[in-house]
Copies of this chain bind each other. A is one copy, B any other.
C-alpha cells in the first residue's frame, strides 16, 4: 500500500520553515504497513496544488495533504480541493461548535475563525481536537485523500486520534519492518567495507542503509513482505550475523536518542548524573531533560562559560586554568569532579572546547573539544578534533560525552 505526502506553504519553499511533518507521518505510516513513495512540498498556488494532487492520486493509493487551512488569505487548500473534487464549501454546525470549544478561554471568536466552519460538502469531516482547522477525508474510486492542518501538533493530534486508525480500517496493508542498529567507532566507508560480504549475501526482501550522524552511524535493516512471522525470522537471522561481526560496537538495537539510552541505564542502575558544560553551553543538560521522567536521575548542571564560573561553582583551580588553559584535559577532569561534588551525583560529564567559528589558535584550533566522563573515582577523557562548524561541533561533543558515560557505566 503506497502513500504520498503533499505539504503546502510558501514558507517551506523559501526555506523559512523546515518540513518536519513529513518525517513524522512517514514513521507512523510505516508502522501500519503503508509505504511513503514521495514527499512533495509546493507553494500556495491553485494550479500547483491541483497538479500535485492529481499526479499523486495517479501514483498512490493514499494522498495525505497538510497545510493551507489557516484562517488567513494566503491559505487556499480548502477551496482548491473543492474545485478538484467538484464540490463546494458549506457551513458545518458541528465544526463551528468544535471551533468555539477549542478557542474558549483563549481568544475571542471572530469572522475569520468562523469561516473555518465552512468545509467541503462531499467529504467526511473530522474535527480537530486542539485547533480550528478541520480535517477533510475525500474518497475517489479506491483512493483516499486526506487534508489536514499544517501546524505540527494539530497534524499529529488528528493523525493519532483518527486518521491512522481510519486508514488501517480502509486498506489492507503489507508488512514493513525496520530495525536500526546504532554503531560507534567507525567511519562510514570502513564500516561498509567490513560489512560488504554480509550485505551482498542479504536475501532479496531485506535492504540495508547507512545513516551517519556526528560520531555515530545508524544501520537500518528493512524487511518487506506479506508474511509477518516469516519476515521476522529472516530479519532475526541477519541480526544475529550482524551482531557477530560488530560485537560491542553496536551500542543500541533501536533508533533511540542517546540521551534516552543513557537515561534508561542510569534508571536501571539507580544512579544520578550532572553536567558541567562549557562549549556545549547547556545542550547536554537540555538533551538529558528532554526525556520525560529525567528528574529521577538528573539533578542538575552547571553551564560554566566563563573561567570565573569554572572556578567559582565547579572549583577548577586557577593554577590549572593558567597552566593548561580552559580547553585542556586537566580542566575537564576538574570540571567533572566539581560537578559530581557540587550537584551531589554519582556520575557526570564535562566539556570544554572551541566551538568556533572564532577563537582558535595554532595549538588549539577551532573544533578542539576536551570531554570527560566520571563515575565515582573513575574518569575518562577524550579529545575531539576536526572542525565541522559550530552547531555540529557542539552536537558531536554531546554525542561523545554521552557515549563515554554509557561505556563507563556498562
Residues of A within 8 A of B (CB): 10-20, 22-28, 30, 35-44, 48, 52, 70-74, 106-108, 110-113, 130, 132, 151, 153, 178, 180, 187-190, 192-193, 199, 207-212, 218, 220, 222, 255, 275, 277, 279-286, 288-290, 292-295, 298-306, 308-309, 312-313, 342-344, 355-358, 386, 388-392, 394
Contacts and interface: CB of A to CB of B under 8 A. Distances in A.
A192 B42 contact: no
B73 A208 contact: yes
A300 B313 contact: yes
Contact of A37 (B13, B71, B110, B188): B13
Nearest to A302: B302
Contacts of A28: 15
User: Is chain A's interface secondary structure helix, strand, loop, or mixed overall?
Assistant: mixed
A304 to B, nearest CB: 5
19 contacts: A12-B22, A13-B26, A13-B37, A15-B25, A16-B23, A16-B178, A19-B23, A38-B42, A112-B189, A130-B388, A132-B189, A281-B298, A289-B303, A292-B355, A293-B358, A299-B305, A299-B306, A300-B305, A308-B344
**This chain: how many copies in the complex?**
2
Contact of A189 (B71, B285, B306): B71
A14 B41 contact: no
A273 to B, nearest CB: 10
A27 B13 CA distance: 8
B290 A281 contact: yes
B74 A210 contact: yes
Nearest to A130: B388
A205 to B, nearest CB: 15
A70 B391 CA distance: 23
A193 B115 CA distance: 12
B41 A15 contact: no
Contacts of A277: 282
Interface centre among A35, A113, A180, A306 (most CB of B within 10 A): A306
B189 A113 contact: yes
